Structure 1
Amino acid sequence: MKTAIAIRHLAFEDLGILQPLLQARGFRIEYREAGVDRLDGLALEQVDLLIALGGPIGAFDDELYPFLVDELGAIRRRLQARRPILGICLGAQLMARALGAGVAAMGHKEIGFAELQLTEAGMRSALAPLADSPLALHWHGDQFDIPDGAQRLAASARCPNQAFAIGNHALGLQFHLEADPQRLESWLVGHACELAAAGIDPRTLREQCRRHGEMLRRQGSLVFARWLDGLG
């Protein structure tokens, strides 16, 4: 049986809709809790698939959150070995950093359901199912630069770098295709302080999710299925 390890930084920011897709493809799923479990062992280097999930800290916050040193090292070794890796939000930012690219604050928050624009490379990538109804859940204040050798796949009106890929084995997403629309409330509660500070009414996000959630579930499932199929 294949194994996928997901590095989780917040309990409610988990694999979401990606978990049943992985299980249907024969993956056994393990979580590593950042800051609690060790992130420097061979398991993260040798596992069939590594997924680095999102979180509300910065990709360069090593001094504040020392576990990032080991997490970054594991991600860097995966990339150097060209082993399958998926990064989402913070996870994608750490991938970019591991590849020598910058990660910095945008000067504003991008939170909510908003459109994406696929690049030409994005239209040929696993993200192609988003072309018909290009919508995603955004929840971040930092953004990554596109690493050397990577293809830029998507942008949004407020963030020019939303996704990148290296070959078929590495995919970094700034947005949250994995988020389960049926569990949005846990995000609203867990990020209540951030929403209040940004002046965002959770009722607005609930209504957006009510209107778009099931479409996003279908599209996200198609994207992840295409990417997993591309891993061979």
Structure 2
Amino acid sequence: MEGPGSIKEVLEERGFKVLERLATEIKGNETFDGLIVMGGPMGVYESDRYPYLNVEMTLIRRAITSGKPVLGVCLGSQLISAALGGSVSRGEFGEELGVYKVYLLEDLREVLGPSIEVFQMHGDTFTLPKGGKLLAYSEKYFQAFRVGTALGLQFHLEVNRKIVSQWIEYYKINRQFDREVDDERLRRSSEKVISYWLSSVS
């Protein structure tokens, strides 16, 4: 359900071929030049119930060890953390659901400015894995980090109003926060972050 949205669009516009695979379809022996790991309603700590989460983490470790770019969004960022020794748990301060301000640090601050408004839909949070560098935070949780060739984003830049409306319906959310989503701003931010991600591993 939570596909790559504008991430795929931007990459294809730049000449990359993006193949989408459901996590349940992954075998663990796939070949690829880069890896994008998206979100989902499950928790990293539920790998007994969703064994493909372990397969995803194996792929993440293999990609980073091989020097290949990895981008994780929402659950994907949490999987990067866990794959490299970090921990993921339910957030102590409750869910972030809707549009929130995120404060940028270091490299990401140079790319996006001191803060941006982004769409959030999560209740879990992560710790930084060993060697991880914090790049963004909200009033509640860590929001972005870089480690090796991987970039983890807790927030969603890939969405637009249409996608958020579909999520509201699919997840039966009793709030119409799709109206808060600024398509153009998120698209511009997505383009900048993808450029940063690719340049940091080139």
Tell me how far apart the structure 2 counterparts of residues 29 and 213 of structure 1 sit (CA, whole Å). Answer: 22
The structural deviation recorded for 1:68 is: 1.5
Which structure shows the higher strand fraction? 1
2:152 maps to 1:163: no
2:28 maps to 1:40: yes
For structure 1, the 5+ residue unaligned runs are: 1-9
Alignment of 1:18-167 (within 5 A): 18-35=7-24, 37-43=25-31, 47-107=32-92, 108-124=94-110, 128-129=111-112, 131=113, 134-159=116-141, 161-167=142-148
Alignment of 1:200-215 (within 5 A): 201-202=175-176, 205-209=177-181, 212-215=182-185
Corresponding residue number in structure 2 for 1:7:
none
- Assess if the C-alpha contact under 8 Å between 1:79 and 1:170 holds in 2: yes
For structure 2, the 5+ residue unaligned runs are: none
CA 1:30–1:120 in 2, change beyond 3 Å: closer, same or farther?
closer
- Assess if the C-alpha contact under 8 Å between 2:158 and 2:186 holds in 1: no
Write the deviation string for residues 143-195 of structure 1: whole angstroms up to 9, x where unpaired. 11011111100000121x1110024x210000001113343211111121xx3
2:166 maps to 1:186: yes
Percent of pairs with identical residues = 34
RMSD over equivalenced CA pairs, Å: 1.7
Corresponding residue number in structure 2 for 1:172:
152
- Assess if the C-alpha contact under 8 Å between 2:109 and 2:115 holds in 1: no
The structural deviation recorded for 1:140 is: 0.3
- Assess if the C-alpha contact under 8 Å between 1:53 and 1:91 holds in 2: yes
- From 12, 17, 28, give the equivalent of 2:6: 17
CA 1:156–1:133 in 2, change beyond 3 Å: closer, same or farther?
closer
CA 1:226–1:215 in 2, change beyond 3 Å: closer, same or farther?
same
Tell me how far apart the structure 2 counterparts of residues 206 and 87 of structure 1 sit (CA, whole Å). Answer: 22
Tell me how far apart the structure 2 counterparts of residues 31 and 229 of structure 1 sit (CA, whole Å). Answer: 23
Provide the aligned length of Structure 1 versus Structure 2. Answer: 201
Corresponding residue number in structure 2 for 1:219:
189
Tell me how far apart the structure 2 counterparts of residues 175 and 142 of structure 1 sit (CA, whole Å). Answer: 12
The TM-score normalised by the length of structure 2 is 0.92
The structural deviation recorded for 1:228 is: 2.3
Write the deviation string for residues 29-59 of structure 1: whole angstroms up to 9, x where unpaired. 1111122x1331142xxx1111010000001
Tell me how far apart the structure 1 counterparts of residues 26 and 105 of structure 2 sit (CA, whole Å). Answer: 37
The alignment partner of 1:134 has SS state of: strand
The TM-score normalised by the length of structure 1 is 0.80
2:145 partner amino acid? F
Structure whose CA Rg is larger = 1
